[in-house]
Amino acid sequence: MPLVSIITPSWNVEGLIEETIRSVQSQTFTDWELLIADDCSTDKTPQIIAGIGERDPRVKLIRQAKNGGPALARQAAIDQAKGRYLAFLDSDDLWLPEKLERQLAFAKAKQAALSYTAFRRINDTNTVTGRLIEVPASLAYGQLLKNTAIATLTAMVDREIAGPVAMKNEGYDDFCLWLSILKRGHTAHGLNEDLARYRVRGSSVSSRPLRSAKWVWQIYRNVEQLSLPRSAWCFAHWGARAWLKRREF
């Protein structure tokens, strides 16, 4: 069985998915499987994935029966994952070649249920925009509530330590997952090395701040069931950090 299962949802990314897959195939660590759950794409995305999978059996296409959004697609891939470690990568993002090797060594040394790394942003032409996005050395549950510093494309979960991994069908489903792991008493550990490229497109969640704010508030109140005062306190911290990030890019 592979040590690492890579979880990728896809939808209408025919112009980007091959490059994303190549960034996985270029990893110096090779004991992985890439599970791509396609969410009923209407372009050639599934055919591209299937074609690559015929040449590299580590790349596996999962076809969703109906369009349900990224959370359900991620869960479909998780349900079929064989690896001890789950690494998350969206279908338009990229990894640098040593990402898995460096992060695995770090996660093992820290005995981390959840780990994450620094990254840089790129645009549609793969041009790096802005500075390196550095990350906190560690995050506990209360800290993560106020600082959504774990980028999905950098996250890795050790299932033997973290326990069950289940996506909630919410906006920011990834944030919900990180919170659920840390709420069990675990601490997430950050590796401040430049190991990934996050693509900013017009459809990216990060390009729609009002929607992001709504989702974060709903998570505080409906998922985490925080009191109104604590929700407001966490939201103020989150909003300040989000504003500073947007000023920098």
Q: Tell me: the pLDDT tens digits for 78-115?
A: 999 999 999 999 999 999 999 999 999 999 999 999 99
Do 119 and 195 meet the contact criterion of CB atoms below 8 Å apart? yes
47-69 mean pLDDT = 98
Q: What is the DSSP string of 166-212?
A: ---SSTTHHHHHHHHHHTTT--EEEEEEEEEEEEP-TT-GGG-HHHH
Greater model confidence, 170 or 135: 135
10: confidence class by pLDDT, cuts 50, 70, 90: very high
Domain contains 60? yes
For residue 159, tell me if it sits in a domain.
yes
Specify if 220 maps to a domain.
Answer: no
How big is the CA angle at 197 (ends 74 and 27), to the nearest 5 degrees? 75
Give the CATH number, domain containing residue 121.
Answer: 3.90.550.10
Position 242 in a domain = no
Q: At how many degrees (to 10) do helices 70-80 and 173-182 cross?
A: 50
84 found inside a domain: yes
Burial 127-142 (b: 16+ CB within 10 A, else e): eeeeeebebeeebebe
Whether the pLDDT of residue 247 is over 60: the answer is: no
Long-range contacts of 159-166 (CB under 8 A, 24+ apart): 159/83, 159/84, 159/85, 159/86, 160/84, 161/111, 161/112, 161/113, 161/186, 162/113, 162/114, 162/186, 163/113, 165/78, 165/86, 166/75, 166/78
Q: Is-above-0.85 flag for pTM? A: yes
Average pLDDT over the chain, rounded to whole?
93
**What's residue 208's pLDDT?**
67
| % of the chain at pLDDT higher than 70 | 94
Average pLDDT for residues 24-49, to the nearest whole number? 98
End-to-end CA distance of the chain: 41
**Element at 218 (helix H, strand E):** helix 209-218
DSSP string, 94-109: EE-TTHHHHHHHHHHH
User: SS3 letters for 42-87?
Assistant: CCCHHHHHHHHHHHCCCEEEEECCCCCCHHHHHHHHHHHCCCCEEE
Does residue 47 form part of some domain? yes
Q: Is 165 domain-assigned?
A: yes
Q: 153 falls in which pLDDT band (50, 70, 90)? A: very high
What is the extent of the structural domain holding 139? 4-202
In a domain, 234, yes or no: no
Give the pLDDT of residue 125.
92
User: What was the pLDDT predicted at 211?
Assistant: 83
Q: In the chain, how many domains are there?
A: 1
Nearest to 133 by CA among 145, 148, 117: 117
